[in-house]
Chain A
């Protein structure tokens, strides 16, 4: 059995400077100042929280799954993982994690990938990439070119030694959370995944809670 690294946070909810619930299928985009800590709480368990990061001072420098995995020599994200931009600049560090493993290989669902993965008639269904693109359009200054492969908080996508990719049952449970500290001014883009075709969330997307603490 794989060892999961689970680490509790010392932060208290009543000290947070921001506290909001993002319903399933909704998005969220906000800047963090250096040292601020963002907590994502999986309120009902096994929800996928598709997340991208940008250097707020250089929005063309986006999160790089490949640089992040290569630098730590491992594919899963947990406490201690430093999430890097394409330039190699640290964007956020995971500082607490009661789930123990997060995915950055699986990317985000889209209308088009739903046609490929499930069936052509799934194209109309709400999906993460539509949420990402709507929020980028509303913010302005971003384009589809800025949509790089993302993090899937609370998702478990094991890779076998033989090179197989599987979507395993979730490793998260109600109330699990992950916390990350901003290492620079960082823009966080979240889609709280609306996927209804994948058993990994029991076909039931659920809300998440976001809290922010000042340094």
Chain B
């Protein structure tokens, strides 16, 4: 049974969105065409100096790709969001995001003056805008999660973009474990060799999540490391929330 979304937003190609999504919600991203990529930054809304730390996330879960059962950890050993559903099996956590110069070099220089709002946006400018809008700045830039993209590494450490990885209607669902500031940029993966700028809209649906059952929840019980990161998260909430 499809649950009614409490909030929906469609990111146009090149589009961006940022905002705080409170804990206990599902955040579902759906690719409305093949070959989507959403570069994403996550910060703890209570104190954005605490942010998604991909090295800590990957080391703790012994992985270089993200999928269902895994969680996005902060640099304070807490879980910002869990991955509770995933139709793809691989989202790229190696962190790259596009810049103006990269985008110009690959797809040809475009300008607002010439193309108005059809000019080709880049992730760094999108991030910069949204960071500043939340009182942050470029010093807060860190490696991004690239949802819908797969980059695999060979024995020499060369990075290979898996073209065709993301079909139309692919989706991934996060569950917020803390109040989280999300910054989404619907901009191409820097390693995507496609010669034309991917024009894939991505829909964001936010829905209420069921309460987490620590005994059975797949993300809590994925590994001992995940359980301890949830312990840290629950301890934070117990200390932080108002009594009574």
Contact = CB atoms under 8 A, between A and B. Distances in A.
Contacts of B228: 115-116, 119-120
Contacts of A146: 139
B49 A144 contact: yes
A62 interface: yes
Interface string B31-73: 0000000000000000011000111101110111100000001
A60 B138 contact: yes
A74 B94 CA distance: 10
Interface stretch (A31-39, A162-170, A171-179, A181-189): A162-170
Contact of B190 (A62, A70, A75, A116): A70
Interface stretch (A19-27, A41-49, A106-114, A204-212): A106-114
User: DSSP majority for the A interface?
Assistant: loop
A30 B144 CA distance: 28
A66 B94 contact: yes
Q: Give the interface size bracket for A toward B.
A: 35 or more
A80 B142 CA distance: 23
Interface string A137-152: 0000001111111000
Q: Among the interface residues A64, A69, A143, which one has the most CB atoms of the partner chain B within 10 A?
A: A69
Given A75-B157, A149-B143, A165-B59, A66 B75 contact: no
A93 B155 CA distance: 23
Given A107-B53, A112-B75, A149-B143, A74 B158 contact: yes
Contacts of A62: 139
Q: Among the interface residues B55, B137, B138, B232, which one has the most CB atoms of the partner chain A within 10 A?
A: B55
A143 B117 CA distance: 37
B138 A159 contact: no
Interface stretch (B95-103, B177-185, B197-205, B209-217): B95-103
A92 interface: no
A143 B49 contact: yes
B156 interface: yes
Nearest to A150: B55
Given A70-B94, A107-B56, A163-B64, 5 more contacts: A2-B155, A65-B143, A70-B95, A107-B54, A165-B58
Interface of B: 48-49, 53-56, 58-60, 62-65, 73, 75-78, 90, 94-97, 99, 101, 124, 136-144, 152-159, 190-191, 225, 228-229, 231-232
